[in-house]
C-alpha cells in the first residue's frame, strides 16, 4: 500500500517537472517573430527633419519621392499639422491649420515612371508674429496604387515629418515619470521608462543602460539610444535590456537625459536565470521534495 502511494506521488512530481519544462520552453515559441512581407510602393525621404528657424524668415527644403511599383504613378503633395495622442506616440493629423500655410511646394504633383526618383522642393516661411517654441508639420506624398491581382485600387500616403523650433525663449523641461526594469530575466528582455516634456519645444532624451556584476565590472555590452519627446507630452520609451552571459545577480544602471533638466541616474537589481537554470532548479526542488517524502513515508511504515 505504501509502495503504491510512493509511486503515485513520484508520478505526480514527474508530471509537475514536465509541466514546468513545457511552460518555460513555450516562452521561446511565443517569442518567434513572424516574417514581414515587403510590398512595393511609393517611398519618401527623408522621413524626419529637424529645423531651427527665426520668426519672420524662411528656409528651403526638399523631398525625394521614388516609384518602386511596376506602373507609372502620379504623386500629389499636401501639408498637415500633427501631434501625438498617447504615451505610445500614435499620431493625429490636422488639416487647414494656420501652421500648414507656412509650407509651399515647388509643385503640387509629379509623375514618376517605373523606378524613377524626383526631388520636390518646398519653402517654409514663418510669420514674424509667431511665438517661439515647437511646431510639428507633416509633408504628405500620396498616390493611387492599383492591386492588379485583386483589381482593387488603394491610396498610399507617406509623410515626412518636420520638427520645427522657432528661435527665442524656448524651454526643454524634462522629467522621468517612471522606470520599469524586470527583476527576474531568463532571456532577451526589455526595459521601459515614461519621460515627460513640460517645456515649449521638443528635445532628444538620450539614454545609456549598462549591466554590471556586484563588483562593478561590466557584464554585457551597454545599450544606447534616444527618443524625441514633444512638448506637453509624456512618452513611453522602451529598449533592449543588456543581458549578461552567465547566470547570477547583477546591477543595471540607467542614465536618462531630460533636455534642459539634469540627467537622472537610477540603479536596479537583476537576477539572470536562463531557461536551463530554471529547469535545473525546478528539477532539484522536485527531487528534494520527493526524497523527503519518501524518507518520511519509510519512517511511518516502520
Q: Which of 67, 70, 78, 147 is nearest to 111 (CA)?
A: 67
Q: Specify whether 269 is located in the same domain as 287.
A: no
Q: Specify whether 188 is located in the same domain as 78.
A: no
Residue 60 and residue 98: Cα distance in Å, rounded? Answer: 19
Q: Specify whether 98 is located in the same domain as 116.
A: yes
Higher-pLDDT residue of 270, 12: 270
Q: Specify whether 162 is located in the same domain as 178.
A: no
Question: Into how many domains does the chain fold?
Answer: 3
**Residue after which a domain boundary falls, among 131, 166, 201:** 166
**Residue after which a domain boundary falls, among 149, 166, 183:** 166
155 confidence band (pLDDT: 50, 70, 90): confident
In a domain, 7, yes or no: yes
Q: Specify whether 116 is located in the same domain as 12.
A: no
Would you state the pLDDT for residue 63? 96
Tell me the mean pLDDT in the region 256-276.
Answer: 92
Domain extent for 288: 2-25+283-301
Average pLDDT, the chain: 86
Q: Specify whether 81 is located in the same domain as 148.
A: yes
Higher-pLDDT residue of 284, 194: 194
**Residue after which a domain boundary falls, among 107, 139, 166:** 166
Tell me the mean pLDDT in the region 244-254.
Answer: 94
Would you state the pLDDT for residue 163? 98
For the chain, first and last CA: distance in Å?
A: 14
Task: Encode pLDDT of 178-192 as tens digits.
Answer: 999 999 998 889 999
Q: What angle separates helix 2-30 from helix 275-301, to the nearest 10 degrees?
A: 170
> What is the 3-state composition of the chain as percent helix, strand, coil, each rounded to the nearest 5?
20, 50, 30
Confidence check: pLDDT of 36 > 60: no
Percentage of the residues of the chain whose pLDDT score is greater than 70: 81
Task: Encode pLDDT of 79-135 as tens digits.
Answer: 999 999 999 999 999 998 999 999 999 999 999 999 999 999 999 999 999 999 999
Higher-pLDDT residue of 57, 187: 57
Higher-pLDDT residue of 272, 277: 272
Q: Specify whether 50 is located in the same domain as 159.
A: yes
Q: Specify whether 160 is located in the same domain as 175.
A: no
**Residue 143 is part of a domain; what is its CATH number?**
2.60.40.10
pTM: 0.77
Confidence check: pLDDT of 302 > 70: no
Q: Specify whether 110 is located in the same domain as 12.
A: no
Burial of 167 (0-12, 13-18, 19+ CB in 10 A): middle
Percentage of the residues of the chain whose pLDDT score is greater than 90: 70
In a domain, 36, yes or no: no
Q: Specify whether 139 is located in the same domain as 97.
A: yes
Q: In the beta sheet, which residues pair with residue 60?
A: 123
Amino acid at each position: 500500500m505504501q509502495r503504491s502511494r510512493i509511486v503515485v506521488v513520484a508520478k505526480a512530481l514527474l508530471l509537475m517537472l514536465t509541466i514546468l519544462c513545457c511552460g518555460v520552453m513555450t516562452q521561446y515559441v511565443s517569442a518567434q517573430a513572424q516574417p514581414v512581407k515587403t510590398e512595393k510602393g511609393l517611398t519618401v525621404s527623408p522621413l524626419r527633419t529637424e529645423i531651427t528657424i527665426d520668426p519672420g524668415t524662411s528656409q528651403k527644403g526638399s523631398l525625394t519621392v521614388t516609384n518602386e511599383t511596376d506602373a507609372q504613378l502620379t504623386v500629389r503633395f499636401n501639408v498637415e499639422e500633427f501631434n501625438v495622442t498617447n504615451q505610445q506616440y500614435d499620431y493625429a493629423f490636422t488639416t487647414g491649420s494656420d501652421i500648414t500655410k507656412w509650407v509651399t511646394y515647388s509643385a503640387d504633383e509629379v509623375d514618376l515612371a517605373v523606378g524613377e526618383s524626383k526631388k520636390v522642393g518646398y519653402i517654409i516661411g514663418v510669420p514674424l508674429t509667431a511665438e517661439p517654441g515647437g511646431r510639428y508639420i507633416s509633408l504628405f506624398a500620396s498616390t493611387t496604387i492599383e492591386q492588379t491581382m485583386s483589381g482593387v485600387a488603394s491610396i498610399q500616403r507617406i509623410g515626412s515629418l518636420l520638427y520645427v523650433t522657432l528661435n527665442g525663449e524656448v524651454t526643454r523641461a524634462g522629467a522621468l515619470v517612471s522606470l520599469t526594469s524586470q527583476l527576474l530575466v531568463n532571456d532577451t528582455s526589455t526595459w521601459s521608462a515614461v519621460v515627460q516634456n513640460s517645456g515649449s519645444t521638443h528635445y532628444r532624451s538620450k539614454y545609456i543602460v549598462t549591466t554590471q556584476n556586484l563588483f562593478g565590472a561590466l557584464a554585457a555590452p551597454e545599450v544606447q539610444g534616444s527618443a524625441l519627446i514633444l512638448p506637453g507630452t509624456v512618452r513611453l520609451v522602451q529598449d533592449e535590456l543588456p543581458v549578461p552571459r552567465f547566470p547570477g545577480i547583477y546591477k543595471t544602471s540607467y542614465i536618462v537625459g531630460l533636455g534642459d533638466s539634469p540627467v537622472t541616474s537610477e540603479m536596479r537589481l537583476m537576477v539572470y536565470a536562463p531557461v536551463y537554470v530554471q529547469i535545473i532548479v525546478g528539477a532539484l526542488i522536485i527531487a528534494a521534495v520527493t526524497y523527503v517524502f519518501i524518507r518520511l513515508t519509510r519512517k511511518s511504515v516502520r
